[in-house]
Amino acid sequence: MTLSIGQPAPDFEIPNQHLEKVSLSSFKGKKNVLLTFYPFSFTGTCTGELCEIRDDLSAFQNDDVQVIAISCDTPFAQRLFAEKEGYQFPVLSDFWPHGAVAKSYGVFEESKGCALRGSFLIDKEGILRWELKNEWAARANADYKAAIASL
């Protein structure tokens, strides 16, 4: 699927690491949302990227912005991953239907059964304001910060 800046972002409702359902629409009118898709929990680059966000969380998550990380791992793997790394943001499971949310954002890799590295900033009205698709390469936090500052 191809998304366009300025258009509504696809809504979703999937479980977090505590099996609680989280929807994009639940933030509408309340917070901007930084969605960051990553391929696999417990892998070097994915862990490193999310730990960089964790270590500078106030720059990404505050009264105006909510960070949400998503992969196609099970919610049980997400829970262990989030606990081990001390993530203070939702880590969502796009496990079933497998990769449905990643597909709706155009970042699902069918041949590997996982999400690619894609990041999306959605404003409080649910409109896509920024995206970055790096596929397998690591993302730079400076890109996130610049996008958040532009809201």
Per DSSP, helices labelled H in 2-95 are 44-55, 75-85
Distance between CA atoms of residues 121 and 33, nearest Å? 6
Catalytic member of 46, 51, 72, 114: 46
Residue type, 38: Y
| β-bridge mates for residue 108, sequence order | 115
Cα 72 off chain centre by = 11
Structure tokens at 131: 């995206």
- Whether 46 sits among the annotated catalytic residues: the reply is yes
Distance between CA atoms of residues 118 and 139, nearest Å? 9
Per DSSP, helices labelled H in 17-140 are 44-55, 75-85, 100-104
Tokens 């270590």 correspond to what residue?
Answer: 55
Q: What is the DSSP letter of 126?
A: S
Catalytic residues: 46
